[in-house]
Structure 1
Amino acid sequence: MQEERAENINESVPGAGSAAVESKREVSSIQFPYGDLDDAVDFAKGVHAVGGQSCLIEQLAGHLRVAANGGAFRARLAYPRIFGLCEYERGSVTLTPLGLRIVDPSQEEAARVDAFLTVPLYRAVYEKYKGYTLPPPAALEREMAGLGVSSKQTDKARQVFDRSAKQAGFYWAGTERLTLPVVKSKPDTRPIEPPSTTTHVGSGAGNGGDDDLALDPLLVELLKKIPSTGEQWPAAQRVRWFRTFAMNVSQIYDDDSSPVDLKITVESVSQTGQS
């Protein structure tokens, strides 16, 4: 989830948490990746190349020509999740709706903007200095420390932030400030709206209805994936949908001052004794 503490980025991915744990005495309380946006996008494109929407972690490692159990690779698995591009479950990696957009050449430019702003630290810096000149490197590192970055990792956090901002297009008007990129919609693609924009859809996830609900576009796209009544929807696919939906709800609605760790569990219902 977006609001998990940094040391709990993804307990199901061995080594993922180590990328955010700076020391036993001081731990960052805000999420940020140790790898830049390009690195996270490479992972997402690797998943797409191997399995379309999902693949096994070992298959992804094979595609990237690295050892699946290598410490560096396992640590790098955390980066695309912090950018909101992937999620992990039982040895597999699955692209999120944002991840699917970023591997689409016609939507990648806009998706990079959303991915940058998905990182809690980057969004906090952007919101604080939107329309203003960024402070010099040393001062920016102190700002990051105030936002929750471990004092021993502010230099690393700032360097990766700087590279990711450039890769997402936020320096198009100059490197002294973060400026929201101007993204033009391309033929055969729907316009990409800012992360905070809501969309009105009919009740019933597009199946009709008189009432309008104001929902984030990401949630709308997920609701559209629900099969029509009467169609098959296997339990494993339903669980994956619920977890993806919960992750996006957390990213959209959670308050930075009130972290929420939401977990979805699945229990089998015994049929013993039923006629």
Structure 2
Amino acid sequence: MADNDNAGSAAAQKAEEKKRFRSEIEFPYADLESALEVAQTIHDKAGSSCETEELAAWMGQSASGGTFRTRLGAARMFGLIDRGEGRATLTQLGRDALTNSGKERFARVTAFLNVELFAAMYEQFKGHALPPPPAIERQVEQFGVSPKQKERARQTFMKSAQYAGFIDASSGRFVKPGIAARDEAANEKPAEEKKRDNGSGGDEPPGFHPFVQGLLKELPPAGNVWPEEQRKLWLDTASSIFKMIYKDAKPAQLPPPPGDAEYRKSHGLPPREDYTK
């Protein structure tokens, strides 16, 4: 009986230790710059989507290796790629975050804040200088990072924050980059301008019926797999909607045959009023 009690106690202690060493908050094991290299490679080599094995080869790494999987996981966590069925696909944020996109600075700020731990750290320290490394590690541990991973979490947090521009060069304060506000304002049209663009105040194409807007939203991104059966269903649905919301053109009215007026006059018939309208 005592042996059973000891065994149960040992198992409970082991489970508790395992729980203590597992992080309870999400953070990447690679920094934002490394994750962006993944997105850039997909864009340069494939456009928008590729097999993960192809991606690993292009990056000179093994698809089953820890380094590649770490960077791939980080890119997903930052919101730069989507993963599924052995493929990696760029998100819109991933495209925006690439160099020379015109939106890269604002997109990198968004990517940084997509990470649960980094967003929590921003709310904790925004507007203030960050504390020394030991204090940062204590803070991330309080947020739920395991003691064994707190140094790794601090390193990726600091590198990502610096790369995204969250460390103000003049004051050392932890703030959202000022350029982000300007980029955000540039990307946001005034409400009146949006109304002039499309007549509805929204972001949909101008003058499109809501049913057509719904159809367009169902189109998958270029480069994605779209089975032929689903394409046919989409086209059949589009055809039905078009029949419902658009009118057919009226048949063109033919002009009177040559000499018609003279013929009707010589035979005492009234003129064709419908031809003269």
1:228, distance to aligned residue in structure 2 (A): 7.9
What CA distance in whole angstroms lies between the structure 1 residues aligned with 2:215 and 2:95? 23
Matches of 1:198 and 1:78, distance apart in 2: 34
**Unmatched 5+ residue regions in structure 2?**
1-16, 225-277
> Does the CA contact (< 8 Å) of 1:47 and 1:60 recur in 2?
yes
Q: Residue 19 of structure 2 is aligned with which of 15, 25, 35?
A: 25
Q: How many residues are paired up?
A: 201
1:90 alignment counterpart = 85
2:19 alignment partner, SS class: coil
Q: Does 1:51 pair with 2:46?
A: yes
Letter in 2 for 1:147: F
- Counterpart CA distance in 2 for 1:199 and 1:146 is 42
RMSD over aligned Cα, in angstroms?
A: 3.9
In structure 2, the CA distance between the partners of 1:58 and 1:79, relative to structure 1 (3 Å rule), is same
TM-score under structure 2 normalisation? Answer: 0.61
Secondary structure of 1:84's aligned partner: coil
- Which ranges of structure 1 fall in alignment gaps of 5 or more residues? 1-22, 186-190, 214-219, 242-275
Q: What residue in structure 2 maps to residue 137 of structure 1?
A: 133
Return the index of the structure with the highest Cα Rg: 2
Q: Which amino acid aligns with 1:111?
A: A
Structure 1 residue 133: Cα displacement: 2.4
Determine whether 1:75 maps to 2:70.
yes
Inter-CA distance 230–116: structure 2 relative to 1 (3 Å threshold):
closer
Asked whether the equivalents of residues 105 and 180 of structure 2 are also in contact (C-alpha less than 8 Å), the reply is no
Q: 1:237 aligns with which of 220, 230, 233?
A: 220
Q: 1:135 to 1:88 in 2, by over 3 A?
A: same
Aligned ranges for residues 1-275 of structure 1 at < 5 Å? 24-26=18-20, 27-105=22-100, 106-174=102-170, 176-183=172-179, 192-193=183-184, 209=200, 229=212, 237=220
CA distance in 1, matches of 2:86, 2:31: 23
Shift of 1:33: 0.6
Counterparts of 2:180 and 2:219, CA distance in 1: 37
Aligned partners of 2:198, 2:127: CA distance in 1, in Å? 42
Q: Deviations over 1:147-203 (max 9, x none)?
A: 111122111111111111111111233574312212279xxxxx6318xx9986999
Deviation at 1:208, TM superposition (A): 5.1
1:144, 1:110 → 2: CA distance? 25
- Structure in which a larger fraction of residues adopt helix: 2
Q: Against the structure 1 CA distance between its residues 176 and 45, is the aligned structure 2 distance closer, same or farther, given a 3 Å change threshold?
A: same
| Structure 1 residue ranges, 4+ long, deviating more than 4 angstroms after superposition | 197-203, 230-236
Q: Calculate the TM-score normalised by the size of structure 1.
A: 0.61
What is the CA-CA distance between 1:93 and the residue it aligns to? Answer: 0.7
| Higher RCO structure (Cα 8 Å, ≥6 apart) | 1
Residues 50, 59 of structure 1: 8 Å contact kept? no
